[in-house]
Amino acid sequence: MSGRWRATGPARPWPAAGAALLLAGTAQVLPAGTWLPGPRCALFPALAGLGRPDHVALTFDDGPDPRTTPRFLDALDGLAVRATFFVLGERLAHHWDLGREIVRRGHELAVHGWTHDRPWRPSPLRESRRLSLAAHLVAQAYGDAPLWYRPPYGILTGDRLAAARTAGLRPVLWSAWGRDWTSRATARSVLDLLLRDLRGGGTALLHDTDREGAPGCWRAALGALPGLVAVCREAGLAVGPLGEHEVTRGHRRGARLIGGGPSGPADPRAR
Ligand SMILES: [Zn+2]
């Protein structure tokens, strides 16, 4: 595993997520995906994936998908960029070789859950069992214990937070997205939306599959990648995985926007 970005030693504590846990204690469902990006970044910077100001974390959710993930791996190779892939345990079990290929190409594997479902009713044992199973499978593919957990739809509950703590995972969401899961998404729209909220220290959310989105929407995310990386590099920002992002370390409030413009409301349909 030499030459990889991966931090050694025990996982860092997650104070912001701890605060979220307290919040979740008063409300079973914490619909993090519906928060305004600004307040989420200000109140829970670690949960929003804010890190060192000279770096942007690139993350992909919902894979692995043999129809689409290899295209993203090739594009990332062409751009000389490494990223973090939040995979589903069930999909990783079905596409084990592809999960291993993501790792072989130098990317970080993280946990998106076992399946892509919503927590309709409290079920702490079920949440814990399934998340631990997913984390165990990801660890086998990754060759090391994963650090990160991003729940489907960005919905955190007390059960999910407790399950993450049991599995040794740090919850992390995002600070900018491109709404690449919609039928109307284009490479241009995805890039414009990302750049609206993205700044140094931010975490970008994309998807390497359309399994949870509109058919074919992955093309918009894939098409946005070259522009995203170019704009970041022109702004003097490196692009890489969360493992190199130093989440909550070195973030300066008020870091410059990359693309300019105001922050808009979050979309509860986040995948
Ligand atoms: Zn998802």
Burial of 266 (0-12, 13-18, 19+ CB in 10 A): buried
Mean pLDDT over 98-120 rounds to 95
First to last CA, the chain: 31
Query: 202 CB contacts (<8 Å, ≥6 apart)?
Result: 49, 50, 56, 57, 175, 176
Ligand 1: distance of its center to the CA of 49 in Å? Answer: 16
pLDDT band at 223 (very low <50, low <70, confident <90, very high): very high
Strands 203-207 vs 55-61: parallel, antiparallel or unpaired = parallel
Pairing of strands 155-157, 170-171: unpaired
pLDDT at 145: 97
Q: How far is the CA of 179 from the centre of ligand 1 (A)?
A: 12
pLDDT (0 to 100) of residue 32:
47
Q: From the CA of 247, how far away is ligand 1's center (Å)?
A: 21
Determine the distance separating the centroid of ligand 1 and the alpha carbon of 127, expressed in angstroms.
16
Q: Residue 228: exposed, middle, or buried by beta-carbon count in 10 A (0-12, 13-18, 19+)?
A: buried
Calculate how far, in angstroms, residue 12's C-alpha sits from the geometric centre of ligand 1: 24
- Listed residue (6, 30, 146) closest to 87, CA to CA: 146
Question: pLDDT tens digit string along 31-70?
Answer: 445 455 666 676 788 899 999 999 999 999 999 999 999 9
Q: What is the value of pTM for the model shown?
A: 0.82
Is 263's pLDDT higher than 60? Answer: no
- Alpha-carbon distance of 59 to 267, in angstroms, equals 18
Cα of 168 to ligand 1 centre, how many Å?
Answer: 20
- 116-161 pLDDT, tens digit each: 988 877 889 999 999 999 999 999 999 999 999 999 999 988 999 9
CA 35 from chain centre, in angstroms, equals 16
3-class DSSP state of 129 = helix
Percent share of the chain, pLDDT over 70: 76
Measured CA to CA, the distance from residue 175 to residue 203 in angstroms comes to 5
pLDDT of 203 > 50? The answer is yes
Task: Note the pLDDT of residue 122.
Answer: 81
Question: What's the pLDDT score for residue 4?
Answer: 34
C-alpha 271 – ligand 1 centre gap (Å) = 4
Question: Could you tell me the distance, in angstroms and rounded to a whole number, from the CA of residue 267 to the centre of ligand 1?
Answer: 14
Token digits of residue 212? 């949870």
Interval between CA 87 and ligand 1 midpoint (Å): 9
Closest C-alpha to 104, from 3, 219, 226, 211: 3
Type of residue numbered 76: L
Q: Point out the least confidently predicted range of 2-16, 55-69, 119-133, 170-184.
A: 2-16
The string over 82-121, giving b where at least 16 C-beta atoms fall within 10 Å of a residue's C-beta and e elsewhere, is bbbbbbbbbbbeebeebbbbbbebbbbbbbbbbebeebee
Q: How far is the CA of 13 from the centre of ligand 1 (A)?
A: 24
CA of 183 to the centre of ligand 1 (A): 16
Checking if the pLDDT of 265 tops 60, the result is: no
Query: Residue 84 in contact with residue 241, Cβ under 8 Å?
Result: yes
The mean-pLDDT minimum among 24-33, 87-96, 136-145, 240-249 falls in: 24-33
Domains, the chain, ranges and CATH?
28-244 (3.20.20.370)
Average pLDDT, the chain: 83
Query: Distance (Å, rounded) from C-alpha 126 to C-alpha 159?
Result: 9
Strand-pair partners of 155 = 31
Å from CA of 264 to ligand 1 middle: 21
What's the CA-to-centroid distance between 4 and ligand 1, angstroms?
Answer: 25
